[in-house]
Structure 1
């Protein structure tokens, strides 16, 4: 509710705590928004935050009211009429007022506040000079100001003309208007529709309707009908500026017309003791509203799981298919070397190790095959020898990361969309290095399957049987050559045991080797799937950390900025 509502000595307003919360919310929004907010509006917002801190720490019992108007509006005469003394210089030459002049009511010291306002010329209004009781309603005696209200705590400023032909005067008026609590816009019958008043002040300060008073001065120069017509026209123009429902006061410093009503408005603002909070809250709302265009009404929420297309593209770029193929090939080699026919296993040892070629394994024994750890590799090599990604793989990664960025940036303002896109595209070789380290750091350790051991023992037994059968046959041949025919050879039917052992050991060993080869192919595919899953999880972790995480951080900042601005402007 406006602190200027007529007839209320107390009005509900914003507390200092609530004002502090809104200022903090605006500060948080600026911190979260960073460079994604318009730099000029950020500067203005920080100035508002500083003003809130400075104003709330000074003279909380004073209300600063500024009489502002164009050249010739008679605000200095109006100022003198309210004060009851010729404090401000009134003259025909323009501009007359070059520096702000202050009139202070009450015994509380306002020096600190006026020092902050940088108002050097000050006048203390004595209680007796009001010519009326503190809360009386009678008309003051002739020669006294038309002030019949208790104005203790009022600091009334007469400002230089805001349309002065002297630039320093205009700038001084605008500077002080940034700091005061209540605006009294004084205009006259000739300039009430002036664009400078409406476009540069009333429209800009349309959110400050609670601390705005519009005065049509020099009403004594008009007829009663003309005053009614111009007041209505001025009220209409003010409503078009965004300040609806404003009541235009008609005053005259010469005939004292309307001074009682104006003084009553000022007394109401002083009695409420919340005009400063209302002005500052309006400043926060206004600057938050201007910043609000730099953020969207909502933002995307990325799912917990990393996009499958992104993981697939990164997996190909990281060389996971190559690693999986090497793992499968190495599994088959190991299986065949441990379960194959013992008489030909040595041939397998001559084949190159696919894991060593990729610098993904540095085993010391067969039992630790596929047992490389991240520390082992980094301490020696620092990275793998995987081939670099192909142009097609790089293009797929670019397309996937762009898709993540575009999807997350949809609906966001340009600066935020650029920030999301940049976050989704890590600079330089950082992503490639992270993917390579993820591959290197993924454990490829495996435990030898039980069937390897069973088949290996069986092959050794069959080989031993075959060798024993062969030796037996050789002995029999030697004995026959020596013409020793008394040796009896056991047999199974027509087949002697030595031949059965030799042929059976060889044939069963070859059959078992063929079965082991088939099982090795199946096991290699399963092992490849397990390793692919581990590597894919590692790549997904890189994507979450290097791509999705930064994008989420930008969206979180956008959400914090949006919510902070909404809290500040509530």
Structure 2
């Protein structure tokens, strides 16, 4: 039970450690997600965190109680009755109270606290609290009021705007609310809608007083009291209690003073108020956070990688690698007398500015020469761009479709980076991917064989030319060794040409298989590079947003439930 309510029980105290945990949880949630939460609530929470730090840093265990009410409710009269002397001005002209007045019980002047509240009218109450040692006796207060700071506020419905604003400012800072009303205005919508209902989560530090009871008969007083209690319960104060007082006759003043003494003795009203504030704003922020989020793997799906690979020109590069292998194979193992023609074939990797990438040792332990600038890969086709957009939208919908609007937009933003930046990253990934390995040994073998067969063909041809020239000049016949029925010059020439062509055909066949293997390796390495970009630039940021969402939910729940 709240110490504001009668009885021996007290409300569960909010310790400094619990309040600190709540405030830190709220502050961390704001650091994580202020951009994706309700702006007005974020602003309120930011100011609240600052208020908690300021209030808890003020020395002393003072409890600030505000008497708040509408014009003519008798706040100032009640204020004077509680003090025991006429401190606050009372008059028929309304509004009478224009600035807040503070009454301080105890030896401490509470200067730091009142300076923080910006209250300049201060009255030190003489130490005359009546304490009943045995807890008995009419008109006695069990306990001390030392440490109480009682405020008489301007009317919150004053026709003067400055008075209303001042009352609102102070109400945001005090520890305990005492709503003072009268038989004429106890059902006023302004009191219930703008104050009691708005602060319904602060029931532990809220008390409702029906003042000016001397104007009614006892039965009418009881009727008004019950009706006011019903309205308070409808506002959210489930355990609302209503005190009946009369500043003129003194009725109920001792009971009200006792309730205030209970609060002061508890020495936790300030923490209870701040804790309730945190619960309220954290609950408001929590409405913008889902109860769960999709468990998205920290990896990229094949469809997204495939779409980005096509947009990055991987198929074009793979075809160029395949053609480059065939061309290099023809230059190494093609027929000696026609291989020079391959030099006129276009070097597609060079055209794409990808010909400088070389693996020195192996794919696992590569030493890549520095590559500067951009490639010359053709821009993606409209179909490829559409495929990327579709894949990104599908990822965003899958990850953020069930989240609140602001969080869903954050997921979409993370899943769709700037097109120019993404294109640059994809291009650099392709540009820095090794596409050539060390020349295969069989190129050297076939190249050597072609030189051997070509040399034999040239020797045989020259030999035959010499024999033909000698015969034409009618010189003595040159001896020509034979291999069976065939002369060696013819054997050398014929075998060199024929076997060279056969070796070239074998080279082309082996080159086709090797080119397919080299293209598959390049495709695998390129897709790995695209995958890394996808995880770093798209999937990673999306997962980070989901993790922020989860962490924000945990922090807000901790702020709401810490007490």
Same-fold call, TM cutoff 0.5: yes
- Conserved in 1, the CA contact under 8 Å of 2:467 and 2:478? no
Residue of structure 2 in register with 1:60 after alignment: 60
Counterpart of 1:143? none
Q: Which consecutive residues of structure 1, in runs of 5 or more, have no partner in the other structure?
A: 141-145
Provide the residue aligned with 1:113 in structure 2: 113
Deviations 1:208-240 (A, max 9, x none): 011011122223333443333332222221111
Aligned equivalent of 2:449:
458
Alignment of 1:142-181 (within 5 A): 147-181=141-175
Structure 2 residue aligned with 1:271: 265
User: 206-215 vs 474-483, which deviates more?
Assistant: 474-483
Indicate the RMSD between aligned Cα atoms, in angstroms.
2.9
SS in 1 for 2:337: helix
Q: Is the 8 A contact 2:298 2:539 kept in 1?
A: no
Please state how far the C-alpha of 1:57 moved relative to its aligned partner: 1.7
For 1:365-404, list aligned pairs within 5 A: 376-378=370-372, 382-404=373-395
Shift of 1:66: 0.9
Name the TM-score, length of structure 2 as normaliser.
Answer: 0.90
Bigger shift: 273-282 or 151-160? 151-160
What's the secondary structure of 1:404's corresponding residue? helix
The secondary structure found in structure 2 opposite 1:412 is coil
The question of whether the paired residues in 2 share the 8 Å contact of 1:318 and 1:389 is answered with yes
Aligned match of 1:489 in 482, 490, 495? Answer: 482
Equivalent in 510, 516, 526 of residue 525 of structure 1: 516
Alignment of 1:191-202 (within 5 A): 191-202=185-196
Match among 219, 222, 231 for residue 237 of structure 1: 231
Deviation at 1:178, TM superposition (A): 0.8
Residues 75, 363 of structure 1: CA spacing in aligned structure 2 closer, same or farther, 3 A cutoff?
closer
Q: Distance in 1 between matches of 2:134 and 2:87?
A: 24
Distance in 2 between residues matched to 1:291 and 1:55, nearest whole Å: 22
**What is the aligned length?**
555
Following superposition, the deviation at residue 565 of structure 1 comes to 2.0
Cα distance in 2 between the residues matched to 1:45 and 1:284: 8
Q: Distance in 1 between matches of 2:25 and 2:7?
A: 34
Aligned to 1:423: 414
* Equivalence for 1:139: 138
5+ unaligned residues in a row in structure 2: which ranges?
none
**2:328 paired residue among 322, 330, 334:** 334
Once the two structures are superposed, the pairs formed by residues 26-105 of structure 1 within 5 Å of their partners are 26-105=26-105
- 1:213 aligned counterpart, secondary structure: strand
Deviation at 1:352, TM superposition (A): 2.1
Distance 1:162-1:448 versus aligned 2 partners, 3 A rule: same
Q: Find the counterpart in structure 2 of residue 536 from structure 1.
A: 527
Equivalent residue number for residue 315 of structure 2 = 321
Other structure's SS at 1:79 match: helix
Residue equivalent to 2:429:
438
Are the structure 2 counterparts of residues 486 and 496 from structure 1 closer, same or farther at C-alpha, using a change threshold of 3 Å? closer
Quote the Cα distance in structure 2 between the aligned partners of 1:486 and 1:171: 127
Change (3 A) 1:280 1:5: same
1:226 aligns to 2:225 (yes or no): no
- Tell me the distance in 1 between the aligned counterparts of 2:371 and 2:91: 91
Partners of 1:137 and 1:149 within 8 A in 2: no
Q: Distance in 2 between the 1:270 and 1:329 partners?
A: 89
Secondary structure of 1:360's counterpart equals coil
What TM-score results when the alignment is normalised by the length of structure 1? 0.89
